[in-house]
Structure 1
Amino acid sequence: MHAIICQENGSHYISMVFGYYRDRARSYYADYWIVWDSKKERLIKWPTFKPKKKFLEKQILIVDAEQNDWKLNQDGEGCVNFLNRNLLDSIMRENNQPQNILEQCRKIDKGYTYDEVHEIKTQKDIEDLDWITGNFHDAYIAKKKLQDDGKLYLKFEGIWGCDLEVWFWGDLEYDMSSRDSELVDDPYWFDSTIFFHDGFVYLIDEEDMTVEKITTDYCYFKARHMEYRVIPK
């Protein structure tokens, strides 16, 4: 698992994620992740949401949701298989970072490359984008342009923690009228579905959609190719 870590000064960096836990004794939203610091020298606790803000503002974006090497409980909490919560709590509480633990973390972190522009080609790509966008909850299309090269460009804003640029191309078909901010009072998405069908990739502004359910009541996009770029906030 890897994530974009959004810092208070507006900068960001990529980190492997080594654990995820909730501290419900403090708050319903007091969940946190174990990640590298910006220099990749130490492990730190990183809350999902920025502290002391009036509204919930995400400060971590999961860009690779792979957890095959994790131990997880029934609530989805856990960590990579050579760590455990007691050890991590001790490391954070005592500020004691054993070198052998850090070396193991560095070892499993080798070889990962973050692609700033990523094409949707597999089911895992779809799942990763759902993690990033929260299924496009609260998103709206802020910009749209059919480019000279035939690609449809969209910029989504309103996503928790980021904006998102998306491109569709190849036998392109779409209808945005039901979410066009110039035509309707409610351009905001509540949920979404992304899926493959007969060589096409689809994005629709509703959950649990299929090709057969698509009508002009929905905002939808269909193309041979779809790629995206995350713009952290």
Structure 2
Amino acid sequence: MTKLSVNINKIATLRNARGGNAPDVLKVATDCQLFGAEGITVHPRPDERHIRYADVYALRPIVTTEFNIEGYPSPEFIDLVCKVKPEQVTLVPDAHDAITSSAGWDTIAHAAFLKEVVAEFQSHGIRVSIFIDTNPDNIRNAALTETDRIELYTEPYATNYVLSPDQAVAPFVEAAKVAREVGLGVNAGHDLSLVNLSYLHKNIPWMAEVSIGHALICDALYLGLEQTINSYKKQLL
């Protein structure tokens, strides 16, 4: 079964807009798990405009499912992750001031760096996933870093889905097949929603997990958090 990991960055964004602790990031993480989410994802950035490093430490005892920390592997990020020891770390190639993730790794150009970082995290018992596009060469070279999984960057799929679902999903199916052939687990994330998630899952049923934040939190404003999580989980049946 493909697991649902809820990215709670947007909850922290709302909290930070006014200061204080409303909404409570820890309570939301607890409720997401109570309502059926199989994981919690956070993406702390250097400017701490949403999830703060302090949040990551506070969430560690709260997350009883799977804790997934995303980020660029700077020295500060590596230190944080190795101290917190989440179940999974997802490496993204974001610039420090990126609004959101917008590209996958070039695993050929950054092969030596990624291999070193992957080994460091794995030495602490942390599963590693590399955020990546559908280029088969990048996927094959990701395997050479000895990462455990890749996370397919699905914004192009979401953008093109409204034009032609078949054409939108095709490169992702092929990418997932290449990953499976070289022994990598497959995650997916970015711009997945109730509109496009089911079709992706039906075409790539062996995905290990999807990480969803922005669309899920937006839906929760209308449907409520519990109903929203249940609705997303139904897309993965």
Q: Into which bin does the TM-score normalised by the smaller protein fall?
A: under 0.3
Higher relative contact order (CA 8 A, sep 6+): 2
Higher strand share: 1
Larger radius of gyration: 1
TM-score normalised by the chain length of structure 1: 0.23
TM-score normalised by the chain length of structure 2: 0.23
